[in-house]
Structure 1
Amino acid sequence: MVHISILVPYTAVPAAIVDPRYMFTAVNGFLVNAGKEPLFHVQLVGLAREVSLNDGLFTIRPDVLVKDVKKTDLVIVPAISGDVDAALDVNEELLPWIVDQYHGGAEVASLCIGAFLLAATGLMDGKACSTHWLYADLFREMFPEVQLVDDKIITEQNRLYSSGGANSYWNLLLYLVEKHTDREMAILASKYFVIETMRNSQSPFIIFKSQKTHKDETIRKAQEYIEQHYMDRISVEQLADMLATGRRSLERRFKAATTNTVAEYIQRVKMEAAKKSFETRRDNINEVMYSVGYTDPKAFRSIFRKVTGLSPVEYRNKYRRSA
């Protein structure tokens, strides 16, 4: 029997507690229907007998308190909501328990921005981690020792797991089901919950946000210039001359402030403009390519796929049809 502890943190997202419980209890039912013994013992584990969430809209009653769980096999850390710093503060008592369970042999899996709670334990230092793409900059700022891979749906390293944004945690749950049962059971679960099993990247869903939370005014001016003139050919030398700074200094400061090189930032801004064109206009591929300053179709397709995980045609068909 695999003992699963689904944490019930204060400020948790209710669905990120209910859905894992539903997944593993449903798989137990699949096993019983197949003439097998149920595999998972699932408990909701909290700091209090009742946890009020979403300003009192939901109340969850954990099955057991954290202090009473001496050993478990798998810890699920659900997504949290609201102010991240406040959420970490109010759930501080969970951190040493998670660490103790991990050192006792348990696996630990964070869902979406539950990664902040997992990273706060220190267990992720030096390891790869995913979270919701919208919180990537904040995560890097708060946990510089963690290797954030914000395009990934799932990461796994040394019994530590994380998932990307929002509903991508279903893919991680499915991954854990397959690990503890078999491929056949995972496929059955994927069909029951209608989960797209081939997803391995959240890149198509990422909206590139200007990384301006830093305090370097010179770099902010460079960013603003790039965003206003993305359709032009922009060089590092041009930016350095305009800002009266050396090229090497500009590149170093730009990377430190935004986590991107100048060339990467220019590419991301151009690709974001291209994505918006595909989503809202009926221009063909070449028209969009020229509008964001590219003349080489092969280079444009290659960079677009690198950024979004899809070809320009695939992206246009996916989101124009949705619109």
Structure 2
Amino acid sequence: MKHLTILVPDVQTANSTISCIVGAYQIFTGANDYWKRIGKEPLFTIVTAGVGTEAVFINGLLSMKPQVNVSTLKKTDLILIPSLTPEFKTALEGNILLIDWLKKQYENGAEVASMCTGAFMLAASGLLEKRNCSIHWSSADNFRSLFPNVNLKTEKLITDEDGIYTNGGGFSFLNLLLYLVEKYYDRETAIHCSKIFQIEIDRQTQSAFTIFTGQKSHGDDVVIKAQKYIEDHFCEKLSVEDLSKFCSVGRRNFDRRFIKATGNTPIEYLQRVKIESAKKSFETTGKTVSEVMYEVGYSDTKAFREMFKKITGISPVHYKNKYNKNLNDSLYDKV
């Protein structure tokens, strides 16, 4: 029988930390129970493990006692790291001990999966250096500043590389758990768990959930000035030359500073601002795709559709049908 360890941090936690711990325990217990029902031996022994005697969550409202101390676990096969505070800066106190332990376990053959902002702990261990990683889109800027050598893939819902798994944000950790159930058990068990816990299986991207606000904590006043101008004039015809002149900076230097500060080229930033505006129109108005396209400064339908899908992962029509409440209400009325 394999061994699964669900970590219980006692510092740098968030409200979502306990959701990840309980969700992981339920889903893997459900997978074990399913195997017993079909005549197979349970695949995993499941334990929660920490370094303290008790972890407290949600301002003392809930507490959890880890079943074992990690120091007593000499060998495990799979380690799950729950989400942590999105304001993570450096590993503190008990989390340092957890990091040292999971590094040794990985070197000893264990696989490691981080849920949402649990990627901060995983990256702090050094195991994500030069590897791909996903995280909640709202924590991406902080993550990049702390771990510039990690290949952050915020459009990905799940990454899988060298026995290290990460996933996006919020409750998408449930999709990672299904992914791991399929990998360790089988497809049949993953489908069973998806039905029992009512989780959509095979989700691949979190792009449609991203709200683009632009990285503005970089401290470069020239780039801030350019960002504000783009956001105020995105529906107009803008060029990088116009922006660099507006900011009184040479084109090459402007490009370099903008990319360093925001993680996007000026053109990429402009496109993301346009598409974010288009998304809001689709969500809140009855405008057609063509009307929204012209409103945000596109004149080529194909180019607009391709850029919208590149950024959100779905087509404009699909997005509108999915998120426009008035449209959905009218559909329900016809049923």
Question: What TM-score comes out, normalization by structure 2 length?
Answer: 0.94
1:240 deviation in Å?
1.3
1:258 deviation in Å?
0.4
- Alignment deviations for residues 180-226 of structure 1 (CA, whole Å, 9 cap, x no partner): 11111111111111121131000000000121111111111000000
Task: Identify the residue that residue 62 of structure 1 maps to in structure 2.
Answer: 66
Pairs aligned (count): 323
| 2:86–2:117 contact (8 Å) kept in structure 1 | no
Q: 1:146 is aligned with what amino acid?
A: V
Secondary structure of the equivalent of 1:93?
Answer: helix
- Alignment deviations for residues 284-306 of structure 1 (CA, whole Å, 9 cap, x no partner): 11110111000000000000000
Task: Identify the residue that residue 110 of structure 1 maps to in structure 2.
Answer: 114
User: Which consecutive unaligned segments of at least 5 residues does structure 2 have?
Assistant: 330-335
Range moving further from structure 2, 20-29 or 46-55: 46-55
Secondary structure of the equivalent of 2:99?
Answer: helix
- Alignment deviations for residues 137-188 of structure 1 (CA, whole Å, 9 cap, x no partner): 1110110010000111100111100011111111111111111111111111
Task: Identify the residue that residue 292 of structure 1 maps to in structure 2.
Answer: 296
Q: 2:5 is aligned with what amino acid?
A: S
Instruction: Return the alpha-carbon distance in structure 1 between the equivalents of residues 52 and 60 of structure 2.
Output: 15
| 1:80–1:87 contact (8 Å) kept in structure 2 | no
| 1:108–1:159 contact (8 Å) kept in structure 2 | yes
- Alignment deviations for residues 2-26 of structure 1 (CA, whole Å, 9 cap, x no partner): 1000000122511110000001111
Q: How does 1:196-207 map to 2 (within 5 A)?
A: 196-207=200-211
Q: 2:79 is aligned with what amino acid?
A: V
Task: Identify the residue that residue 8 of structure 1 maps to in structure 2.
Answer: 8
| 2:51–2:94 contact (8 Å) kept in structure 1 | no
Task: Identify the residue that residue 46 of structure 2 maps to in structure 1.
Answer: 42
| 1:88–1:117 contact (8 Å) kept in structure 2 | no
Q: 1:138 is aligned with what amino acid?
A: N
Q: How does 1:206-217 map to 2 (within 5 A)?
A: 206-217=210-221
Instruction: Return the alpha-carbon distance in structure 2 between the equivalents of residues 121 and 257 of structure 1.
Output: 26
1:81 deviation in Å?
2.7
Task: Identify the residue that residue 241 of structure 2 maps to in structure 1.
Answer: 237
Secondary structure of the equivalent of 1:199?
Answer: coil
Q: 1:268 is aligned with what amino acid?
A: R
- Alignment deviations for residues 27-80 of structure 1 (CA, whole Å, 9 cap, x no partner): 111011101111110000011121111111111111100111111000000001
- Alignment deviations for residues 263-297 of structure 1 (CA, whole Å, 9 cap, x no partner): 10000000000001111111111110111000000
Instruction: Return the alpha-carbon distance in structure 2 between the equivalents of residues 25 and 55 of structure 1.
Output: 28
| 1:112–1:169 contact (8 Å) kept in structure 2 | yes
Secondary structure of the equivalent of 1:172?
Answer: helix
Instruction: Return the alpha-carbon distance in structure 1 between the equivalents of residues 93 and 116 of structure 2.
Output: 18
Instruction: Return the alpha-carbon distance in structure 2 between the equivalents of residues 45 and 218 of structure 1.
Output: 48
- Alignment deviations for residues 213-252 of structure 1 (CA, whole Å, 9 cap, x no partner): 1111111100000000011011001111111211111111
Question: What TM-score comes out, normalization by structure 1 length?
Answer: 0.97
Q: How does 1:124-273 map to 2 (within 5 A)?
A: 124-273=128-277
Instruction: Return the alpha-carbon distance in structure 1 between the equivalents of residues 202 and 97 of structure 2.
Output: 37
Secondary structure of the equivalent of 2:66?
Answer: coil
1:317 to 317, 321, 334: 321
Q: 2:24 is aligned with what amino acid?
A: P
| 2:159–2:167 contact (8 Å) kept in structure 1 | yes
Please list every run of at least 4 consecutive aligned residues from structure 1 whose deviation after the TM superposition is greater than 3 angstroms. Answer: 86-90
Q: Tell me if 1:123 matches 2:110.
A: no
1:89 deviation in Å?
5.1
| 1:81–1:87 contact (8 Å) kept in structure 2 | no
Secondary structure of the equivalent of 1:198?
Answer: coil
1:82 deviation in Å?
5.9
Secondary structure of the equivalent of 2:216?
Answer: coil
User: Which consecutive unaligned segments of at least 5 residues does structure 1 have?
Assistant: none
| 1:274–1:292 contact (8 Å) kept in structure 2 | yes
Secondary structure of the equivalent of 1:91?
Answer: helix
Instruction: Return the alpha-carbon distance in structure 1 between the equivalents of residues 169 and 24 of structure 2.
Output: 15
1:132 deviation in Å?
0.6
